[in-house]
Each structure stands twice: as structure tokens, then as C-alpha cells.
Amino acid sequence: MELASLIEDLGKACGLELTLDEGRCTLRFDGEHDVTIERDGNAVILHGIAGDGGCLSNPDNLRILLTASFLGAETDGGALSVWERTGEIVLWKRFDAFTDYPDFEAVINAFLAQLIHWKARIDALPSVAVSASATFTPGGIMV
């Protein structure tokens, strides 16, 4: 189905008048979760900000995010990336086609669930790594 028609149908289901402007449409769910639906040639990309990137200074967090993103293992086939312009962590997923409106709606709902999950998970990550010196006890090192 054509993306513009899917966006219009989504708007009708939500009681809104939606149109696809310049190949992109951003929707806010529950007043706090923005999902952008964007045309990329014949494909569609969904993306949303999952975190501010403050946790990226901790190497342990980088490992967690990269591991989760590997082959979409913990992101329902999506990927976590850093938006270079803002430093924010973005969850995104690419789709080649939708068979019908119910398929499109299911994809939006599944992506939104992943975005909410990752926002909470990233928010809970410590911004600073626990260093080895943090556990130092006097008299604990012998030379």
C-alpha cells in the first residue's frame, strides 16, 4: 500500500486528519513518545529518540546497546544508533512494504512498544562507569 494512504487511514483510526508532508510524518503518543514515519525511496523507516546519549560515556553502556542492537536481537529487528547532529540515541527500523492498513498499524504499535521499552532501559543506565578505584579499601593492595 502507498504510505500516504496508510498515514491517512492511521489518522482516521485516531480521529485525526493526517497527511504525509514531504515524505515524513511525526506522531506523538501518550504525550511523550514521538515516532517519525519517513519514506526512503520505496521503503519506510520508523524512528524515535530513545535517550539523550548521556549514558554513552560509560563503556559498559555502549556494550549493552551494541549487543542489544546486533541483528535486532533485542530490538524486534530494529537498531539503536547515535544521531551525530544531536548526540541522541535513536531507535529505528526499516520496512520494505505493508500488505494493508492492519499490518501498518501493528508495525506502529510494535515499534512504539520497543521505543517505550528502550527509553526506560536507557534512562536506567548509569552515566558514569564504576571504576576499579571505587571499590578500593585501604590496605587492600600489597606490593
Q: What is the CATH number of the domain that holds 65?
A: 3.30.1460.10
Whether 47 is in a domain gets the answer yes
Asked if the structure places residue 139 within a domain, the reply is no
- Which residues neighbour 68 within 8 Å (Cβ) at sequence distance 6 or greater? 74, 75, 80
* Gap between the Cα atoms of 12 and 67, Å rounded: 38
Q: Percentage of the chain with pLDDT > 70? A: 90
Asked, for residue 142, whether it belongs to a domain, the answer is no
Q: Dump pLDDT digits (tens) for 19-32.
A: 877 888 899 999 99
* Domain membership flag for residue 133: no
- Domain membership of residue 134 (yes or no) is no
Parent domain of 54: 3-124
Instruction: Give the pLDDT confidence of 81-126 residue by residue, as tens digits.
Output: 999 999 999 999 999 989 899 999 999 999 999 999 999 999 999 8
Tell me the pLDDT band of 133, cut-offs 50, 70 and 90. Answer: very low
The answer to the question of residue 83 being in a domain is: yes
